[in-house]
Structure 1
Amino acid sequence: MPTVALGSKAGKWIMVSTIMASAMAFIDATALNVVLPSLQKSLGASGTDLFWILNAYLLMLASLILIGGALGDKLGRKRIFMTGIFIFITGSAACGFAPGVTLLIVFRMLQGIGGALMIPGSLSLISSSINPAERGKAIGTWSAFTTVVTMGGPVLGGAFADAGLWRYIFFINIPIGIAALIILAKQVKEIRGDENKQPPDIAGAIAIALGLAAVTFGFLRIPDVGAGNWQVYITLVGGLVLLTGFVLIEKHSKNPMMPLQLFKNSTFSGANLLTLFLYAGLSTGMLFLSLNMVQVQRYSQLQSGLTFLPFTILMIVVARFAGALADKHGPRSFLIAGPAIAGAGLFLLSFVKQTAGPADYWTTFFPGILVLGLGMSFTVAPLTAAVMGSVSDRFSGAASGVNNALTRVANVFANAILGALAVLLFSGALQGSIKNLKLDDAQEQAVVKQAVNLGNAKAPSEFTGVEKSEINKAYTGSFITAYANVMRISAGLGFLGALMAVMFVKNNAVKPDQ
């Protein structure tokens, strides 16, 4: 298949359209983290509701992104990419008008369906269209620009939230998506990677969608009903059975949405394991960092968004450079050092206690965010280049789909598992903190029940004066304790990602006949 130079007119239009569409999807995640406190207050959402608002999108994205990549390979990457963009902006508009939590969750699922068709298309278009000698640089450019826009999401989200306009986080996608559709329609040629006319792997899509949904639901129920409840056992076991069934379906399918032969390549397997661990740690760390700043440290939502600017600046400066170096020297050393440095940043952030607010930022949160940003800057482009470079062009859509799916699976499981764990850690710390307040059983239950709201927990209305102040102080201390533990677990996941690179990733690992 003929390719084009990165600097050619065709190459530039491909980069512009893929960056715009990808950024539109990625900005939702980071901006939404910042506006969650406003959204929670506006819609009367509980802490569990917040995790469902996040996970409804991620769940559909993770469940269907594999089939989105495969459809692009078979039916045309541009066609499926454009279809995904249209569905995504339709879902975004619906989210912006959602009157309550339930409908917002439903419309977030529609966004996820669009994203599943859209996100794999960006990288598969780049990988199949750009000259192989410049592919790492192209992916580095894509990574840098999408990450800059993505990390600009908190600033935009904070500004909207402080102005009472959190719904505009969804509306902003519409003009970006329309512009990307116009560019694709007029300037980008259709590309197909596979002439196989077999029907899509519907059974695999159903199995992974239901399996992920069941496991996520099981973990999200733990804070409400306890880990020993039958609902938790049934959904977790059922989810694991369905996910096992998904692997078996893929093994025997004539047209699998996730070709298992790709995992015979150790670099492909190692890079995807790295993705799973690192992005689980990153997504949870960023979520709890935002909640801590706004709900406990009393940053405004705009100030919270601005705190991520060092991360953004590092991505501008380093990511494209790292992609070019990975082309020249191979990705392995970057994929060892990057996740380890990112893990160190998350670990540093875990030591931040109660602060005096934004005035203390430079001596509290800034060092950890700087180290985290440096680690991710050295990781993102080489990781993507390693994944896409370890498979032949005809599998580029599937490879992109698998890697993106694992990123979303990591987000879903991390939010569900560590979100549930955070509530349990919060509750445990809180019970210890209120022992000296001499509350009766009913009062203690009322106080602990608020733990499900995490940093937004407030003393029940029956408490006043000094007692109310002491309970709110206990909430703050307990949240910081839970935050510290969650951030340390997130750091450990980053270190695990680095270990996967040590064990499995090799330079120049592509198998042309794969």
Structure 2
Amino acid sequence: MFENIKNSPNYRWYVLATVAIGTFMATLDSSIVNVALPTISSQLNSDLSTLQWVVTAYLLTITSLLPVFGRLADLFGRKRVFGLGFLVFIFGSALCGLAENIWFLVATRVLQAIGAAMLMSNSAAIITAIFPPKERGKALGLTGTVVALGSLTGPALGGILIGLAGWRSIFYINIPIGLIGFAAVLLILPKDVPSNDKESFDFLGASSFTLGMILVLLGITNGEKWGWSSFPILLSLVLGIASLLLFALTERKVKHPMIDLSLFRNRPFLIGNLSGGLSFTAMFANNMILPFYLQGILHYKPAQVGMLLMVFPIVMAIVAPISGNASDKFGPLVLTTSGLVITGLGLLYFSTLSATANFYHILPGSILTGLGAGMFQSPNNSSVMSSVPPQKLGVAGGINSLVRNLGMVAGIAWSVSLFESLGGVSMPKSSEIPVFMSAYHYVMLVAMVIAFIAAGVSLNRKSYAKAK
């Protein structure tokens, strides 16, 4: 049966489906815990500053390790690293579900993220190797849509699972999905071709990048809590920036760099990544705070929250393929820029919600942001990947994933810091509701500004970028 699949003219699409399982699962878990945070907060007795590490530790680990595992896969085999990623992710998910205190949960989320980094770092390269040049843009665009849907479906699916089976179910659900994905890797993905070259692994580049990312993101995420002028924060930021500068210098000199920084001289590639990162920075602010508004202010049950949050990914899933096809005909400029403007308008709408809002008051904001994200993501991913030569598609896909995760981490970090600095708390008492609402409105307004800045950046892309 599986030999027939490998001989099928549609074999490449089976490979894409296998990759999509791992990609969707890994990105889903970047946000699925968001809706569980209020429940975890009460059961594991944790405040919002500590709770954010359940999300941030996952994203930080992935962001730091994406280029490392991408390079290791080039040297030791993509199928091997991708399959191992499923196993590590399954094991980490099982341990997350067993957590009895907040810091054990954070630690096991790091393990889970190591598996996710193995999966995400190789998806673009596997697809690039199996698809002919004329179909790569379409395949990579679909992968980008899967990534966005995974990230943005998380809160909705999480709410439904929590309502049905409790918060631990959001981790246990990964076990059967992961086993299916691992079986698909063994049976469907092509065998690794042993590397005949003698390329070495860039240990200095890998260590300086990983250390720099961890230190900078630690400084950003803890700045509000510890004080931006405090010694630990300043030391973390200074050492982190120095480490990243060392990485940049190293990559310019080594023969086989982990990240090809020369790609950023390509204007469509630079603009697409920058606007994409900013879009996730804006959207993840709402992803982080909205569940607390729905549960803490409106007193929705997790299942109700999940049903409401499903509106966004449903709208996005409908719009994204239409937008992708339109982009192939008319170019990405108008669609990406308009999508970001509409996203900003949706965030502006969220800033007007009251403490007595109902489902129908919230619905327009979810529709607007879903419409905007659907219009933006697919054309933007296609534009980015079409702007680089075929032999650099794998590297470009890895950088795109890295920038996207940086946007997610930044969105969580700044929104939580600003929300708490304005007096917001995760589960407010009656007397704290006005302060909560004021803080939430302010965060949404800042997110709107970021979305509009992303739209301004998007305007600077060329009307259409063809592969070189």
Do Structure 1 and Structure 2 share a fold, with TM-score over 0.5? yes
CA contact (8 A) 1:279 1:407 kept: yes
When residues 488 and 47 of structure 1 are mapped into structure 2, their CA distance, relative to the original with a 3 A threshold, is same
> 1:325 and 1:193 mapped to 2: Cα distance?
40
Q: SS in structure 1 opposite 2:385? A: helix
**Offset, 1:276:** 1.6
Aligned partner of 2:456 in structure 1 is 499
Counterpart mapping for 1:393-408 below 5 A: 393-408=390-405
**Offset, 1:372:** 0.6
When residues 110 and 159 of structure 1 are mapped into structure 2, their CA distance, relative to the original with a 3 A threshold, is same
Aligned partner of 1:182 in structure 2 is 183
Kindly provide the amino acid, as one letter, of the partner of residue 465 in structure 2. N
Kindly provide the amino acid, as one letter, of the partner of residue 453 in structure 2. L
CA contact (8 A) 1:143 1:320 kept: no
**Offset, 1:290:** 1.7
CA contact (8 A) 1:84 1:113 kept: yes
The Cα offsets for residues 37-57 of structure 1, whole Å up to 9 and x where unpaired, read as 111111112211111111111
Q: Using the TM superposition, name which of 92-101 and 369-378 deviates more.
A: 92-101
Kindly provide the amino acid, as one letter, of the partner of residue 323 in structure 1. G
Aligned partner of 1:487 in structure 2 is 444
**Offset, 1:355:** 1.7
Matched, 1:383 2:380: yes
CA contact (8 A) 1:140 1:320 kept: no
Counterpart mapping for 1:76-475 below 5 A: 76-145=77-146, 147-148=148-149, 151-163=152-164, 165-190=166-191, 196-356=197-357, 360-362=358-360, 364-426=361-423, 454-458=425-429, 472-473=430-431, 475=432
Kindly provide the amino acid, as one letter, of the partner of residue 417 in structure 2. A
When residues 135 and 315 of structure 1 are mapped into structure 2, their CA distance, relative to the original with a 3 A threshold, is farther
> 2:233 and 2:426 mapped to 1: Cα distance?
25
When residues 505 and 96 of structure 1 are mapped into structure 2, their CA distance, relative to the original with a 3 A threshold, is farther
Matched, 1:10 2:8: no
Q: Report the number of matched residues.
A: 463
When residues 424 and 378 of structure 1 are mapped into structure 2, their CA distance, relative to the original with a 3 A threshold, is same
**Offset, 1:206:** 2.1
> 2:285 and 2:193 mapped to 1: Cα distance?
36
**Offset, 1:457:** 4.1
> 1:170 and 1:253 mapped to 2: Cα distance?
40
CA contact (8 A) 2:164 2:303 kept: no
CA contact (8 A) 1:128 1:393 kept: no
Q: CA RMSD in A?
A: 2.4
User: Given the two structures, how large is their TM-score scaled by the length of structure 2?
Assistant: 0.92
Q: Using the TM superposition, name which of 209-218 and 106-115 deviates more.
A: 209-218
**5+ residue gaps, structure 1:** 427-450, 459-471
**5+ residue gaps, structure 2:** none
Q: SS in structure 2 opposite 1:20? A: helix
Q: SS in structure 2 opposite 1:347? A: helix
> 2:67 and 2:75 mapped to 1: Cα distance?
13
Q: SS in structure 2 opposite 1:242? A: helix
Matched, 1:477 2:448: no
Q: SS in structure 2 opposite 1:70? A: helix
> 1:183 and 1:506 mapped to 2: Cα distance?
39
**Offset, 1:72:** 3.2
CA contact (8 A) 1:72 1:397 kept: no
When residues 296 and 257 of structure 1 are mapped into structure 2, their CA distance, relative to the original with a 3 A threshold, is same
CA contact (8 A) 1:33 1:290 kept: yes
User: Given the two structures, how large is their TM-score scaled by the length of structure 1?
Assistant: 0.84
The Cα offsets for residues 137-170 of structure 1, whole Å up to 9 and x where unpaired, read as 3344444555555544333311332356211111
